[in-house]
Amino acid sequence: MKVKICGLTTPEDAALAVELGADLLGVNFWPGSPRCVDLDRGAEVARAARGAVPRGARPPLLVGVFVDQTAAFVDQAIAAAGLDVVQLHGDEEPSMLSRLPNGRVMKALRVADGFDAPAAAATWQGAWGLLFDASRPGLYGGTGASWPWRRVAALDASAENGEGRRARPRVLVAGGIAPGRLGALVAQAGDWRPWGIDVCSGVERSPGRKDARKMRALFEEVRDGEVFSVA
């Protein structure tokens, strides 16, 4: 299972996430977030993350988080921090996909009762990935609220790839994930598994500052739980 550690604000936390084996690192550039960083700090966090990658290892993908911000500002952040993925976490329109240059756009979608996951995925066809989080009025994520992952399980019914096997969408889930909770969240999803998990407040001691003990515990739980792995 891929692990994204989001809301990184310090070089130290970024380096630790790399050391522990994070596959994706999230840096938030939205001023409305308590985890917001400016372009200079974003670049500093990115340098620390890349500097912590062991020789010969694959570096994690650096994800910039944006909420209803202009394509021009997103371009600035890509250039400043060398972002690999752009995460749109607001009320953006799908037309934004064609306005961003790096080809890797992750769209965050908020899941509530009656949410139609296949319809949402079709609307954002062409996105590099989809991130599903709990819906809370007036909030754009980071709620720490868990939700039934089975609400997006229908996305597993995707077309076959060239080798005759079903091509699983690149789907990440967020909300309420923390050490000690992951197993229960996976279990209630039945046989369905996401491509990855997105963890933020569940490994923090305060907004924007990670707790090393919690981060280590989470990665131990992921490593020990081979049943969580995604083929």
CATH number at residue 82: 3.20.20.70
Name 110's bridge partners.
133
User: Distance from CA of residue 150 to its chain's centroid?
Assistant: 18
pLDDT at residue 136, as a whole number:
64
Domain span at residue 205 reads: 2-228
Q: Per-residue b/e over 187-217, b at no fewer than 16 CB within 10 Å?
A: eebeeebbbbbbbbbbbbeeebebbeebbeb
71 within 8 A of 53, measured Cβ to Cβ: no
Dmax (CA) for the chain in angstroms is: 47
Q: 154-162 contacts: CB < 8 A, separation 24 or more?
A: 154/117, 154/118, 155/117, 155/118, 155/121, 155/130, 156/192, 157/118
User: Distance from CA of residue 13 to its chain's centroid?
Assistant: 16
The total number of structural domains that make up the chain: 1
Q: Model pTM?
A: 0.89
pLDDT at residue 191, as a whole number:
83
Instruction: Count other C-beta atoms under 10 Å from residue 114's C-beta.
Output: 6
Residues 6+ apart with CB under 8 A from 221: 179, 180, 182, 183
Q: Which phi and psi (to 5°) does residue 184 adopt?
A: -65, -40
Place of tokens 């081979």: 226
pLDDT tens string for the chain (231 positions)? 899 999 999 999 999 999 999 999 999 999 999 999 999 999 999 999 999 999 999 999 999 999 999 999 999 999 999 999 999 999 999 988 888 765 789 999 988 888 898 899 999 988 999 999 986 655 555 556 778 888 888 775 444 444 444 355 689 999 999 999 998 888 888 888 899 999 999 999 999 999 999 999 999 999 886 434 433
